[in-house]
Each structure stands twice: as C-alpha cells, then as structure tokens.
Amino acid sequence: MNELKSIESQALQALESVTSIPELDQWKSTHLGKKSSLMGVLKGMKDATPEMRKEMGAEANRIKKGLGASWEKRRQEISEAEVNARLEKEWLDITLPLSHDEQGHLHPITRYSRKIEDIFTKMGFKVLEGPLVEDDWHNFEALNIPPEHPARDMQDTFFMTNGSLLRTHTSSVQIRTMEKIQPPFRGIAPGRVFRNEEVDACHDNTFYQVEGILIDKDISVANMKYFLRTMLREIFEKDVEVRLRHGYFPFVEPGFELDLRCLLCEGKGCPACKHVGWSELMGCGMVHPKVLEACNIDPEVWGGFAFGMGLNRLVMNHYDIDNIRHFVSGDLRFVQQLN
C-alpha cells in the first residue's frame, strides 16, 4: 500500500513539470503504461492474500483512475495554452492601417491563371467568361452528354431545386461562346468549378480549371499538340516532353490524355509520378462533330480542338503541395509562404 501511494505521489509530481503534448504522452506511457510501476504492483498482487488483494486492488484502481483524470486535465490545460500562444503570435488587428512594408499578394491559383491567360493571348486566344450557375443544356447536353449518359455519374453534380446546377467544368463557357460567335475563333476559359465529391488530400468540391478551344479550318492533332507544348514550355520556362494517350471524353473525338515527362525525376521514376516517369496533366482532343452541330456549326467545314486541366493540380506540382484543401482553407500561413 505504501508503494502504491509512493507511485501516485511520484507520478503527480512528474506531471507538474510536463509542458507539451509529446511529454504528456511519454508521461502516460511511463506511469500508466503496461510497463509502469503501477502495473508492476498489480501483477505482483497474485502473491497476496485474498483480503490484501481486495484492498490493494481497490486502491490501485483509485490511483489509476485518478492519474488518468489528472492526465486528461493536464492535456486540456496544455492544449489551451498552445492555442492561446498561437493566437497571441498570429493575432491581427484588422482595424489598424496597413503598413507600407506589409502588402498583400495574389493567390497562387490567380497567379497561374493569369500566367496561362498571358501565354494564350499572345497566341491569339481570347479569355472567355461564363456563369457559375448553369443549366443542363450548356453543362451537359450540348457537350454530347445526354441524360442517360454514364459521364453524368462521373461529374457528381450539385443540383438546385429549380433545375439549375453549379457548373462541373468550364466547358459550358465554350458552348456559350460557340453559340454567339461564328468561327474561326480561339479562346480559353479559366474559372471555378464544383463537384459533389468526397473531400480528401487530392479531391475537393470546389476547385479551378482552365479550358481552351480553337475552331478553324484544317485543324489537326498536330496543331493541338503544338499549342499545348508551347503553353507548357512557357509555364515551366524550359522545353518539356509530352506524349498523348488515347482517352475517352464525350465532347471530343478522338480524345487524349496528355502526359508530361516528370520534371522531378526527369523520367527515371519517383513517387510523384508513381514511378512511371510520366505525370498525367490534362485531357484534350478534337471537338466532337455533335458538339459543333449543337452550336449550329457545320462539322463538314469547321473543326478544332479543346483541352482542359486543373489549375490546382498544376500549382500543387509546381510548389510540391501535398493537400488540395490548403487552397480554400483561408490560412494566411499557407498563402504567405507561396508569395
């Protein structure tokens, strides 16, 4: 019994000097773990008389329960202290005038979007805009995605009670452009899109895309590859190697997946490219004749290509960001380190 009381006293005394969560976890392992002195006493009770085992067992359980409560209380105190210290360090009075040496900066998504816009406008593309809230025609049907098409299930759409929806891609902007402007024309549509997806490190329900389209006569896959390679060379500020793999998208035929030779390992294979030497970057292809017909453009006369890629993924690759949720977290520490 004296040993039990000594164990309790020593544990509580040691707890007073604990100042961090890792130290607290170590304290718990030392004084309440399987190899602790308290558990050693409990294991030695087999040699005691029944009366002693009953008395010592009750006392040991009281001490174990009391130390557990003390551990929990100390953990709450340390957590609150850490939060208060963080708030004190990061506290900002937004009513104070802005210091001249502390100016804001653009979000990395915005910077990359504008960089891509500059690249394509130099090649004769216009920057296209469209509504975030769309109708079924512009978001699906005009893009060769009828009601029964399985691609609708892949979109995980946010529908509204009035039949409208939050656009799942900026391809809807391309449809609106083709309805209003007669070819030839070329444009890109950067913007925010929404999908009702399970949020994790690689997926979010709100993210950013940039899609492009070029409609003209005598357009081939070689033309598309040239424009996309030019864009990537300007973005990464060096020549890059790309390849096209066959891919299926309802609004293009033929459709392709464009891969970029991994810039981190130079094609040798690494975790970033899943050890294959190539990174999947975007979908692209020749505009499907049914899409042109839906916009009253004669596919026998006109043709073109379209492409789309995620801006979030592009920025993540550039800055080695491991979680897509950082972009909309509102955490100033994240955006400040990317300034």
Q: How far apart are alpha carbons 283 and 149 in whole angstroms?
A: 19
pLDDT band at 101 (very low <50, low <70, confident <90, very high): low
Q: How many CB atoms lie within 10 A of CB 48?
A: 13
**What's the CATH number of domain 108-336, 3.30.930.10, 1.10.510.10, 1.20.1250.20, 3.40.50.12280?**
3.30.930.10
Closest listed residue to residue 214, CA positions, set 225, 206, 204: 225
Mean pLDDT along residues 184-206: 86
| Most confident of the ranges 120-124, 152-156, 194-198 | 120-124
Chain-centroid distance of CA 194 in Å reads: 13
Checking if the pLDDT of 51 tops 90, the result is no
Question: Which stretch of DSSP H or E encloses residue 174?
Answer: helix 171-180
Closest listed residue to residue 113, CA positions, set 167, 191, 173: 191
Mean pLDDT along residues 55-82: 85
Amino acid letter, residue 190: P
Question: Are 28 and 2 in contact, with CB atoms under 8 Å apart?
Answer: no
